[in-house]
Amino acid sequence: MTPLSRRLLLAGAGLGAAALGATYAWRQGSKPPPSAVAEAFWARRFAGLDGVELDVARWRGQPLLVNFWATWCPPCVKELPEINQFYGEARGKGWQVLGLAIDQAEPVKAFLKKTPLDFPIALAGAQGLSLVRELGNAAGGLPFSLVFDERGEISWRRLGVTHLQELRALAST
């Protein structure tokens, strides 16, 4: 076999593999496979304040704002009313909000008696700090918010206080 025919054979094999890969991708749709981090989040369950486990997979397919907070975190407490207002405005557009408290049930229940929130709250507990790191918050600080889009992928992250105007802008895109 000559060097030229060998190159042509290899080029043909490469083009054939590329065509097979493109056909497979086309048949699978144009969306890439979900990231492992997102998939791990959607498989989680969190303790509800009523003792019933909350399965986050029920919100998959809708935009979901997840806010990690704690009763002992003043910036967290400051932003919750604005997140609640956002939820009231955006849920009609299909948005969901989930508050995950890095806290224990009793302080959270006491807080919610003083500051009622309309969106679901669950407990991430102490392991919630490792979860925020997995989700892209290397510092592990609070408050931490992120958005999962309709495909179930993380489309936005914020370490620190979020503001209503910023959330409204997210919902309008």
pLDDT per residue as tens digits for the range 9-52: 443 433 333 333 433 333 344 444 558 999 999 999 999 999 99
pLDDT at 4: 45
pLDDT at 168: 97
pLDDT at 157: 97
pLDDT at 33: 54
**d(Cα 172, Cα 48) in Å, to the nearest integer?**
30
pLDDT at 126: 81
Beta bridge partners of 54: 46
The pTM of this model reads 0.80
Residue 30 token pair: 């144009």
Nearest CA to 71 out of 117, 110, 45 is that of 110
For the chain, residues with pLDDT lower than 70 are: 1-34
Listed in sequence order, the residues at least 6 apart from 171 whose beta carbon sits closer than 8 Å to its beta carbon are: 63, 86, 89, 90, 93, 95
Give 131-170 as a DSSP string: HHHHTT-TT--SSEEEEE-TTS-EEEEEES---HHHHHHH
Q: What is the DSSP letter of 108?
A: H
pLDDT at 137: 95
**d(Cα 136, Cα 103) in Å, to the nearest integer?**
20
